[in-house]
Amino acid sequence: MRRVVAILVTLAPPLAHAGPMTYLVSHGAAANPITKLGWGLLGLSIFVASFIALAVLIGIWWKRGAGDYDERGWPVLSRGRNGMPWLFIGMPISIVLLLLSAIWTFYVLGATVAPPGHPKITIEVIGHQWWWEVRYSEFGYPRRSFDTANEIHIPVGVPVELHLTSADVIHSFWVPQLAGKTDTIPGQVNHAWLEADQPGVYRGQCAEFCGLQHAHMALYVVAQPQRAFNAWWAHQLQPAADQVTGLAGQGENVFRTRCAICHTARGLVGSSGKLGPDLTHLMSRRTIAAGTLPNTPGNLAAWVSDAPAQKPGVDMPAEDLSGPQLQALLAYLKTLK
């Protein structure tokens, strides 16, 4: 069964969209009105700034006096008495433009506060210094629950509800192409939603300063067609590989003694740590260290042997592993597909 799922995942169509993080283009109903507002306000601001600059230049040209210059070489401006009426013309224009911007903003707030339809999936996201814990569950089906980290998968075209909270300080969940920012606050659950209208990998980022590695607190949202998403979910429900032998078997022992106190590899006895990300399907993720490093064997080796060198201030300590221990541990981690 596991092999079938793995094949299905491989057969999934290539992801159409995988660009850098941007808020200039959006791909979902929760983000589209915000992007339009952003462009609209940018255009309005450019127009107002240009108009004022032009008015100032015309004013200077018009009142440049008799062509006299002061001791610094600047033109001497004559002061007229008829400037006030311009203020009374300019002020109402500013008020109207600001009022229209406010009304548009309220409209966007109203349009993005709740999804258009009933969300089919609810995902719990918990901010940590400095990574994202992600919990999937199906209401009433405890066996359909699992934890993952820093990579959220969603089906395309389906509104997804997010329950956001924090384990330590205030963070802010932001995937600009799919939704606006929502703070994650300790002791409080904030609700947000997002929806992707096309398959793709969308980068997100913590948007509230939360300590030394705030900038290295990224995540990815992977939007997939429903069938590929279902296959992903089914695969994530599987426990970690059991009965690993050889080098990986030795690595399993290293994992149990050195990693398992903070990390979980579901199914591995003695591994249920909750301080760090769940590693049951570590190798299925694109990045490690919350989007900081691509998930390659080299980066993984660098990370597990000296995490603070990659991400100063991180809770994960430098592990004093011997060469053979590191090789064995990496062999075991590779089985966490």
Q: How far is CA 220 from CA 12, 63, 177, 229, 268, in A?
A: 18, 57, 11, 15, 27
Answer for which of 42, 109, 209, 286 binds ligand CUA (CB under 6 A) is 209
CB of 142 to ligand CUA, least distance (A): 29
Q: Does 289 bind ligand CUA (CB under 6 A)?
A: no
Q: Which residues pair with 140 in a beta bridge?
A: none
Q: Which is nearer to ligand CUA, 36 or 214 (CB)?
A: 214
Q: Which is nearer to ligand CUA, 173 or 332 (CB)?
A: 173
Q: Does 171 bind ligand CUA (CB under 6 A)?
A: yes
Q: Which is nearer to ligand CUA, 211 or 297 (CB)?
A: 211
Pairing mode, strands 287-288 and 218-224: unpaired
CB of 210 to ligand CUA, least distance (A): 3
Q: Which is nearer to ligand CUA, 217 or 333 (CB)?
A: 217
Q: How far is CA 110 from CA 33, 104, 105, 127, in A?
A: 10, 10, 9, 26
CB of 214 to ligand CUA, least distance (A): 3
Specify whether the CB–CB gap between 26 and 177 falls below 8 A: yes
Dist CA 305 CA 311 (whole Å): 12
Q: Does 311 bind ligand CUA (CB under 6 A)?
A: no
Dist CA 230 CA 233 (whole Å): 5
Q: Strands of the chain (E only): list them.
A: 121-128, 131-138, 141-149, 151-155, 160-166, 171-174, 182-184, 190-194, 200-206, 218-224, 287-288, 293-294
Specify whether the CB–CB gap between 134 and 146 falls below 8 A: no
Q: Which residues contact 199 (CB under 8 A, 6 or more apart)?
A: 13, 15, 16, 17, 156, 223, 224, 225
Listed ranges 203-211, 222-230, 284-292, 314-322: which one lies at the site for ligand CUA (CB under 6 A): 203-211
CB of 145 to ligand CUA, least distance (A): 25
Answer for which of 147, 151, 208, 252 binds ligand CUA (CB under 6 A) is 208
Count of positions on this chain that bind ligand CUA (CB under 6 A): 9
Binding characters for ligand CUA, 125-164, by CB under 6 A (x = yes): --x--x----------------------------------
CB of 159 to ligand CUA, least distance (A): 25
Q: Does 210 bind ligand CUA (CB under 6 A)?
A: yes
Per-residue DSSP letters for 161-187?
EEEEEESSS-EEEE-TTT---EEE-BT
DSSP at 283: G
CB of 172 to ligand CUA, least distance (A): 7
Answer for which of 17, 214, 256, 337 binds ligand CUA (CB under 6 A) is 214
Q: Does 206 bind ligand CUA (CB under 6 A)?
A: yes
Q: Which residues contribute to the site for ligand CUA (CB under 6 A)?
A: 127, 130, 171, 206, 208-210, 214, 217
